[in-house]
Structure 1
């Protein structure tokens, strides 16, 4: 009989987490569980859907004459994304990302009103992002040195629904050619008793 091994402490449930944004060039945190400080800005409450880490890859296969299966595959595109819905739509760091406007432009006027306009010709708005997923004593951190919101969902204003900004953040390579830096704290995998 085959011995099936399982270890619940090696699983990951996105029980909690957070997200922060900073200008491109901001260094990663020294420790994932350190509270981010300026210039990092919190994105606040995230919807119960949590954080989605996506892969969008395309490849080209090469099948030699006389065979019906490829004998080589070349990755031609590999894009990493992060998806989330932020609920604190009046937080300045969140508004700055949603509308591609500098955070300082959301200062209220003398009457307490914040006024801004959306441009018909948006320009690139790259930022650094820090995403943290926590499950008890285990965690996963994702540092994105250069990312940009390239997809925004519709915003609903409704009596029985929380309004939120639904985003997909696309990662871009830094000077070292890396798009995402991972920092994980997970338990050591126990040795298989039968090996």
Structure 2
């Protein structure tokens, strides 16, 4: 046991979640610069990011009730957060699909909600742990599979509770995690 290994996470200054078209060069460490194709999705709510990565198993029982076989049936790898930059065009494109969002704040933004499947993107999550340790989560292929209710109310930031489902890459991996201390 070592209390020095206990940590908490904060978003990296300048943005925590980034997305880019599939095929964009992916980082393979915690500190290198991101490809310029990655666009910031800005602030997320104080609830942070939740990664659900738990297998589901189907058990086979023998006569008498003993479990004699347990087979994994699936292992969904999802990331959930609430994107709170409701005026960020990149957020709107992530939630509604790039083909359904046009314009800028200066020229006027148009959002067209539809039942179209949302595209796949590469995602990178950047955070800072205790003692300025950099952590980066790289999702080579992911898509938005759920958006929670959007609330418009006084005193509450408009946000998009978004679930990104990571899809296995050609190596069968759904995401990669890289950590490195600030001293190296």
Common fold by TM > 0.5? yes
2:128 to 118, 125, 134: 134
Q: Flag structure 1 segments of 5+ consecutive residues without an equivalent.
A: 187-195
Please state whether the residue corresponding to 2:128 is helix, strand or coil. strand
2:103 to 103, 107, 110: 107
Please state whether the residue corresponding to 1:133 is helix, strand or coil. strand
Please state whether the residue corresponding to 1:95 is helix, strand or coil. helix
Taking the TM superposition and a 5 Å limit, the aligned residue runs for 1:133-152 are 133-135=127-129, 136-152=131-147
- The verdict on how the C-alpha distance between 1:90 and 1:53 changes in structure 2, with shifts beyond 3 A counting, is same
Please state whether the residue corresponding to 2:93 is helix, strand or coil. helix
- The verdict on how the C-alpha distance between 1:140 and 1:108 changes in structure 2, with shifts beyond 3 A counting, is closer
- Contact conserved, 1:26 with 1:145, CA < 8 A, in 2? no
1:61 Cα deviation from its structure 2 partner: 1.2
Q: Equivalents in 1 of 2:47, 2:37: separation in Å?
A: 27
**RMSD, aligned α-carbons:** 2.2
Q: Equivalents in 1 of 2:111, 2:49: separation in Å?
A: 29
Q: Equivalents in 1 of 2:142, 2:104: separation in Å?
A: 28
Q: Equivalents in 2 of 1:159, 1:24: separation in Å?
A: 38
List structure 1 segments (4+ residues) > 6 angstroms apart after TM superposition.
Answer: none
- Contact conserved, 2:29 with 2:179, CA < 8 A, in 1? no
1:177 Cα deviation from its structure 2 partner: 1.5
Q: Equivalents in 2 of 1:161, 1:124: separation in Å?
A: 27
The alignment of Structure 1 onto Structure 2 pairs a total of residues equal to 177
1:69 Cα deviation from its structure 2 partner: 2.2
Q: TM-score, normalised by structure 2?
A: 0.86
2:10 to 11, 15, 28: 15
The equivalent of 2:175 in structure 1 is 180
2:117 to 123, 127, 137: 123
Q: TM-score, normalised by structure 1?
A: 0.81
Larger Rg: 1
Question: Structure 1 residue 98 and structure 2 residue 92: aligned?
Answer: no
1:77 Cα deviation from its structure 2 partner: 0.6
Q: Equivalents in 1 of 2:159, 2:33: separation in Å?
A: 24
